[in-house]
Structure 1
Amino acid sequence: MAPISRRRALSLVPAAGLLTLVRPGLPAAGAAAAGTSAAEPARLLTNAVTMLAGTAETNARPEVAGRLAAIDNAARTRLAALDAAGDGELFAGLPLGTSDVNLTRSFQYLYEIALATRTPGLDLDPAATARVLDGLTWLHEHHYGDQSAGYYGNWHNWEIAISTHVSRMLALLGDRAGDLAATYVASMDAYLRNGKNGDVDLDSRFHTGANLADITTNRILQGAVLADESRVTKAVADQSTVFATIDPYRLQHGVTDGYYADGSFIQHHSVAYTGSYGKALLTRVVQAIKILDGTPYGGGAGLTDVVRGWVVNGFAPLIFEGWMMETVKGRAVSRTTTGYADVGIVVEAIVDLADHVDRASLAGYVKHLRSTSREDLDPARFVSPVSVARYADILADDTIPAGDLNPSRRSVAFNAMDRTVHRRPGWAFALSRSSDRISKYEYMNGENLLPWFQGDGSYHLYLSGQDQRRTHGVDFYTTVSPYRLPGVTAPVEERRSIPELYGRYWYENPDHPLGFTSSSESQNTYVYFPRGTNEFSGGATLGAYGAAGMTQSDDVPYVDKQAGVLPDDFVVYRNARSTKSWFLLDDEVVVLAAGIHDPDGRDVVTTVDSRIALPDDDITVTGARPGTDRVRWVRWANATEGTAVGYVFARRQRVNVELGPVTRSRRVVRVSNPDTEVTRNVFTLSVEGEGELAYALVPNATEERLRSYSDGPLSVLANSRRLQAVKHAGLELVALNAFTDGWHRAERLAVHGPASVIARRDRHTVELGVSDPTMNRNEVRVVVRGGPLRLVHADEGVRTRRVPGGTLVTVRTHQAYGRSFTATLRHH
């Protein structure tokens, strides 16, 4: 992804969109800004209504019928609930006065009626519009207009969710809203309490990333409804900041939320979040592009190119056969409607983006996702009928072949968010790390109740042809023990969820100096998304190969509790310790772990893998017996789905094998999930005790293939807390992580650590990939031993010189934020 600076992002916004930033004395509300005309707000409203409701032309198409039926059914259902409402309700079943969720849903239901009234092709009672206006008036008079009585519960509902429904309603109602429009806009401003003077505050920790995109898109619509050019131009300029690539060394407004140069996306300051908030940002920005299209506010090709970069480098690596990987979903991993549904939302954004930039490859990717997904993409779930028609056009265009935006072999180090993704034909591997920069997990609002080890090197291995709902998603976290996530080293202990500990969804102690309230910074730091305390988390890539490493640490709450920073009744948990590496090759992922122990002397267990299957699937485990056995390899196979995974140990290893049905309610992981019991056949392969461990994950392996590893090309060169290294003779590859300061040697390499290095060597050439996983070093030095080498090609910041016994390669890693540097050297 080509980085875009904030200066560059702002330069792509036309002058009309920047007036409020560069000129004092803004026009009064309703006045036209220079360079625009009074017709522009009308164009914005037309675009908005078209986006939401479609046009007579698009809605007449048979492909759009499903979306129209969904709009119509929703409106008729809401009208019936309106008729059945009792005292204190606008809609039956949604009592108002104390529930911000019910109030938000009441506005949502009104919006769904309003949408049907403006959707061409639907035949709704004309009186429905009057009922929407009456409902808006009643809600404002009784439950929204009094700002001193409002703003209970979740800030997001008051500042974003309600405003989204109301702003869209006002756009749909147009002139029929009358004075109600100005009344509601004034109230929405008053509820923007994390802003400044009823407007966006770019210095607010709440006005970042996807949240900022939501707020500013709402304000664009509000400005259009009121014909308030100053509101529109200010909102456009504020939104333009989300297009800027985050530079962690030169933060703007202190904001770490957004897209990074390596494709990472962060929200909530330290959570890897492409699959949830990143998806929301993508959607909202593309919607804003459509609303602004054809007006002086539109950003043109420059901004759409940026968004295309998000899709290619941020989203595509994380989508496997139409499924959004768990590693970037934060607390959303506990929801029942993720995975394929996530990607359906992304597809709509890509469909609309393809109308503006790079149609061939983006449309080809849409076809690829449709053809590889095990769940049909349902365009009836799209927001816009126009998007449904565009989707149909793409599928019908025989000149555009289906094509993945990923090459068939790809290794991606999302080091800015402590994630690694490795893709090969037939499988993909996703690794979740953490550090003093990135959270170990996200818990919030009763979601993701058992999250403790999700960022401690847990991984997911996805296999082609599977219905991922059966093997991953909410049912994985429901039925697999949170202490036995794949790849995790955990102490043997029982932990309690936040509601179990404190009787509510957060820790409450407003009288403490840190001021623990539901949305305080202390709640974020210590409860919702605590960071680790280790520096080393990252890795290098070289072409389609990767190396990643991490030192397992305590989180910030545990460390600060020992320092006396936290209250006595605040509960913390101590982690086990390990030093781990993952080497990402063609046919396998090699995992090394050293220094496995517990500082408090508890027993520890390292889980090699946990996999789930439907109860009736034909599962076999060979190479080891259930219980404890000493083995060189184990193979798990699901004959029903035609999938298998092999596990090869570097030496004969005592392992625990468990296989059996597990039944739990989905509420185990999320309070608001339906109390639905699910049963899965759970396979767990684990190793007890301290010391070292070395094994390879071999996707789709046969028993013959697993037996061959005893004489195969893989060898472990080092496995200690100082150095971990492997060699693959067939690939002529050596990969290592040096975790400590000083020189480390492996094969014909000497590396001054800490560092992550991959080297491939043939008779004539040496290729290097080098990274600083601590993100703190000014340079990393590597000596390639042997005859003299000359530099053929290298990234900027790499230099070489001859030293006794070899060639010194010095890589300038200062402020590189963990990115890989490559160099190609040739023998003289």
Structure 2
Amino acid sequence: MHSPWSRRAFLLTTGGSALALTTSGLLPSDEAEAAVAADAYEALRTKWRTLILGEGFSPTAEPFKSRLAELGTTARELRDTMAPATGSLWPDASYADPDPDTDQESYGYSANVVTGYSRLSTMAQAYRQEGTGLTGDAGLKADILTGLDHLYTQVYNENQARFGNWYSWQIGAPQNLLDVCVLMYDQLSATQVANYCKAVDHFVPDSAVGSYTGTSTGANRVDLCRVLALRGVVGASSAKIALARDALSPVFPYVTTGDGLYTDGSFIQHTTVPYTGSYGSVMLGGLGMLFSLLRGSSWEVTDTKKQIIFDAVEKAWAPFIYNGLVMDGVAGRAISRGLATSDAKKIQADDHRRGHPIMSAVVLLGQGASAAENARWRGLVKGWMRRDYYSPPLSDASLGLTSLARLQGVENDTSVAAIAEPTGHRLFPNMARATHRRPGWAASISMADPRITYYETGNGENLRGWHAGSGMLYWWGDTYANGQYSDAFWPTVDPYRLPGITASRKALADAAGGDWGASMPDVKWVGGASDGQRAAIGQYLKGLQSTLRAKKSWFCLDDAIVCLGAGIVCTDGAAVETTVENRNLGPTGTTSFQVDGAAKPTGTPWSATLTGAKWAHIGGHGGYVFPGGATVKALREERSGKWSDINKGGATTAIARKYLTMYVDHGTAPTNGTYAYALMPGASAAQTAARSADTGWLQILANSDNQQGVSVPSLGFTGVNFWFGGTVGKLTASAPCSVQISEKSDGTAVICVSDPMRAQTSLTLTWNRAVSAVTAKPATVTSAVTGASLKLTFGDLSGTKGATQRISVTLG
């Protein structure tokens, strides 16, 4: 099996380690103590090399053989093009900022400091890894050391003032620099080690983790701790390592505002952005590496609250991973990072390739969790891997060797059985998100409220994600349609017609609303109620920089999601639309489409108004039912775009994709627009037609500006969103709330109630249904009167943060 380094090459002599200790002023007077201390730091360096280079694989077996050869080829190209000069180490990556007072331009120059160290890291990995063709190459070693000294002398030193993006100086550059220092430690002089440590200390002083605020929270805090810990490892400073360990502790506890993990499984970064799939991935991976590095050492992380991170694997991350992909609704501006201009070889980033590193992080984190947790997580990962037909993780060229080795280890572990995708519903009130999973498909809903931004832009990224929080309804099939958002969706889709949203077509400027999630709607009612299997969800929508107002509801059921809209008003003078669907059909787009049994053209572009449409079906995707008939517009079109349209660092090559779109046109000045449709993922045309013909299956109880509700008698389901108090069907609420009821065949029922507004100090809910007993209720229920009807009185719900209150009853 592969050992990523030889003992002869990497284990240092006591004298060498002592020399490093001397330069740090930490050499103990007793030589025996010095040897012990040196061994401790040596052990940490050895462990970090393993975390960087990977273990447990053969360099002569595929896919590792090819990947190692590619690493060698890349390193050779970098070596050949490296040309140290004033202001640059590579000609295409200048860090000589001509105008450091212009922040946006400075960002690019500061990013090139990171680029320099990142390329040296690639070269150092090729030098240390077996099978690269450059293993132990003396010339490559000399070039790496030349590059390190050049960057130190030119730009990353204790006398340099920071410019551009803080991230480059405090995280990006030092992480890569310290990785190189660990990989090349036995080749560095004491002076070099001291110089590089001084540079890191200058840009990342202890005060960087002095308070848990600003850019020192969540994933950023974990990244900073990684820098401090490795600074301690390289510079033999116990105090730095201890500081890094202790500074992790504020990351662990649940938070109630701002960045971090919430008790409902939400993860927020940048104060207002749901970020489980991007910054959350960084945090999970970083914690896994630091826990692993320090485990068994005198600096081990012993804070018992780290169990919250372990719990979050299934509470916060797993709900957003589906067959290997991580849902875009929790990836922030990362959705726009498809293909960068700086590296034509770079594989396009997408939801699958963001999911794979999370899977690797879960495997690593499991090594420090309980045996039961570790075994279950490996089963989850194996299941995700085996079901990711669209982008198999073990063929992911963007996945690092270390992650590839971890996932290969899980695949080869015959003691691990793949765990199937669960079914169920999860509401995340603290980040205005929901996930719904059924056999064969999964869906997710993205909303915005006073705490959660419409979308995030920043650093010139995600320039047109304006409406992603306007009720976007994502969905994926188990063996189909998993490339819907992966295949160049974001640069080619009409950004005013994201699936599920209601939006004004008023033209918005790139990055409208401001950077870093600056814009949130001043609405209160966003959330819902769920019994864990089904749900009633609602969003009071206000448009970004628009006069648009709308009430939107989703009722998540066994084989369908019923979508209602009402109270749609706008005075922008632009068309207002609700997008029923916008399917990315790929480059060819020959998927069939029929309406009420009549086929539409599959080849050439067309548009049509479907008057009185009762159902529609997209071949290989699913069906759509319009209760009572509806006027819907549909079009098949080819759309082109460039990644650089939505991300200033994106590739400038034009790409094209075919789309099939259905939308409701509410006109240019709607005063009370409405819509109603049911999405049936994976349904056949026959199933869709049958559902449409079964007019008794769905009863729309209300669809107005005051309330929206439905009943599905065959499921025992009732869901009502009370925007205002009132009566809908058999339910009467005294104040705004969300209610979901499931009546079961055994004579019991579950009533789920929430206060999405987080404002009700009292609430009375009456269900005009005979109930003989209340068998379980939360403390928020102050009175429950049974009999010919059920009357529930709630106390103060304002502190429940929109969480569902669950009441179990026996029916009369």
- Give, in angstroms, the shift of residue 702 of structure 1: 2.9
Q: Following the alignment from structure 2 to structure 1, what is the Cα–Cα distance between the partners of residues 395 and 363?
A: 11
Question: Quick check: 2:503–2:576 contact (8 Å CA) kept in 1?
Answer: yes
Give 2:710's aligned residue: 726
Bigger drift between 775-784 and 332-341 goes to 775-784
Following TM superposition, by how much is the alpha carbon of 1:105 offset from its aligned partner in structure 2, in angstroms? 0.7
Whole-Å separation in 2 of the counterparts to 1:383 and 1:51: 14
The change in CA–CA distance for 1:456 and 1:391 in structure 2 (over 3 A counts) is closer
Q: Which residue of 1 aligns with 2:382?
A: 367
Instruction: Give the aligned partner of residue 785 of structure 2.
Output: 802
Structure-2 residue corresponding to 1:317: 319
Structure 2 CA distance, aligned partners of 1:393 and 1:461?
30
> Does the 8 Å contact 2:325/2:356 carry over to 1?
no
Q: What per-residue deviation string (whole Å, max 9, x for no partner) do you get for residues 648-684 of structure 1?
A: 1222211111112222223222222212222222111
Residues 390 and 106 (structure 1 numbering): CA distance in 2 closer, same or farther, change over 3 Å? closer
Task: Kindly report which structure 2 residues correspond to 1:222-301, keeping only aligned pairs within 5 A, or say none.
Answer: 222-248=231-257, 256-299=258-301
Q: For residues 302-337 of structure 1, what are the alpha-carbon distances to aligned partners after superposition, in whole Å with 9 as ceiling and x for unaligned?
A: 566433322212222212222221111111111211
Deviations 1:445-499 (A, max 9, x none): 2211112211111121212323533x2136222222111112222223222214x
SS of aligned partner of 2:155:
helix
One-letter amino acid matched to 1:45: R
User: Which residue of 619, 625, 628 corresponds with 2:609?
Assistant: 628
| 1:151 to 2:166 alignment | no
Query: Which among 490, 495, 498 is matched to residue 503 of structure 2?
Result: 490
Residue 584 (1) aligns with residue 556 (2): yes
Q: Is the 8 A contact 1:737 1:755 kept in 2?
A: yes
Residue 368 of structure 1, CA deviation: 0.9
Equivalent of residue 351 in structure 1, options 335, 349, 363 = 363
**How far apart are 1:277 and its partner, in Å?**
0.7
Once the two structures are overlaid, the 10-residue window that deviates more, 415-424 or 115-124, is 115-124
Give the aligned partner of residue 431 of structure 1: 445
Question: Which one-letter code corresponds to 2:464 in the other structure?
Answer: L
The letter of the residue matching 2:610 is D
Structure 1 residue 421, shift from structure 2 partner = 1.0
Distance 1:376 1:158 in 2: 35
- Aligned-partner residue type, residue 634 of structure 1: W
Between the aligned residues of both structures, percent identity stands at 27
Shift of 1:236: 0.7
Count of residue pairs the alignment pairs up: 737
Residue 674 of structure 2 corresponds to residue 701 of structure 1:
no
User: 1:417 corresponds to which residue?
Assistant: 431
Q: Can you give the 5+ residue segments of structure 2 that lack an aligned partner in the other structure? A: 1-23, 98-108, 339-348, 601-606
1:80-103 deviation per Cα after TM superposition (whole angstroms, max 9, x unaligned): 222x55664322432331222222
Change (3 A) 1:183 1:619: same
Q: Tell me by how many angstroms 1:133 deviates.
A: 2.4
- Secondary structure of 1:452's partner? coil
Q: What amino acid is the match of 2:49?
A: V
Q: Which moved more, 1:379-388 or 1:41-50?
A: 379-388
Question: How far, CA to CA, are the matches of 2:210 and 2:479 in structure 1?
Answer: 47
Which amino acid is the alignment partner of residue 777 of structure 1? Q
Query: Residue 383 and residue 179 in structure 1: after superposition, are their counterparts in 2 closer, same or farther (change >3 A)?
Result: farther
Q: Partner letter of residue 820 of structure 1?
A: T
Paired position in structure 1 for 2:116: 106
1:56 to partner: Cα distance: 9.0
Mapped partners of 2:189, 2:760: distance in 1? 59
Aligned amino acid, residue 466 of structure 1: Y
Evaluate the alpha carbon distance shift between residue 778 and residue 115 of structure 1 in structure 2; reply closer, same or farther with a 3 A threshold: farther
Matches within 5 A, 1:1-20: none
Which amino acid in structure 2 is aligned with residue 647 of structure 1? Y
Stretches of structure 1 that go unaligned for 5 or more consecutive residues are 1-27, 249-255, 502-506, 508-522, 556-572
Structure 1 position 434, deviation (Å): 0.2
Q: Structure 1 residues 55, 372: CA separation in 2 closer, same or farther (over 3 Å shift)? A: closer
Deviation at 1:197, TM superposition (A): 6.0
CA displacement, residues 764-817 of structure 1 (integer Å, 9 cap, x when unaligned): 322111111112334543223333432212345345422785332244534222
Q: What is the 5 A alignment of 1:623-662?
A: 623=595, 626-638=607-619, 643-662=620-639
Tell me the TM-score normalized by structure 1. Answer: 0.84
Aligned equivalents of 2:774 and 2:449: distance in 1? 34
In structure 1, the partner of 2:603 is none
Q: Displacement, 1:600?
A: 4.4
What is the match of residue 96 of structure 1?
95
Distance 1:130 1:112, change over 3 A: same
CA distance in 2, matches of 1:480, 1:403: 34
Question: Partners of 1:402 and 1:54 in 2: how far apart?
Answer: 23
- Matches of 2:653 and 2:642, distance apart in 1: 5
Deviations 1:574-599 (A, max 9, x none): 24110111100011111111111104
Q: Hey, what's the Cα distance between the residues in 1 that align with 2:808 and 2:27?
A: 60
> Counterpart of 1:185 in structure 2: which amino acid?
C
CA RMSD of aligned residues (A): 2.8
**Following the alignment from structure 1 to structure 2, what is the Cα–Cα distance between the partners of residues 750 and 66?**
66
TM-score using structure 2 length: 0.85
Determine the C-alpha separation between the residues in 2 that align with 1:230 and 1:86.
37
How much has 1:42 moved relative to structure 2?
A: 2.8
Higher relative contact order (CA 8 A, sep 6+): 1
Please show how residues 195-206 of structure 1 align to structure 2 within 5 Å: 198-206=207-215
* 8 Å contact from structure 2 (residues 698, 710) kept in 1: yes
1:782 and 2:765 aligned: yes
Cα deviation for residue 154 of structure 1 reads: 1.5
Deviation digits for residues 489-536 of structure 1, max 9, x if unmatched?
2223222214xx9xxxxx9xxxxxxxxxxxxxxx64xx7541111111
2:700 aligns with 716
- Deviations along 1:153-185, one digit per CA (max 9) or x if unpaired, are 212111110011112122223352422223222
Aligned match of 2:20 = none
Distance 1:360 1:528, change over 3 A: closer
Cα 1:190–1:384 change in 2 (3 A) is: same
Query: Cα distance 1:170–1:535, how it changes in 2: closer, same or farther (>3 A)?
Result: same
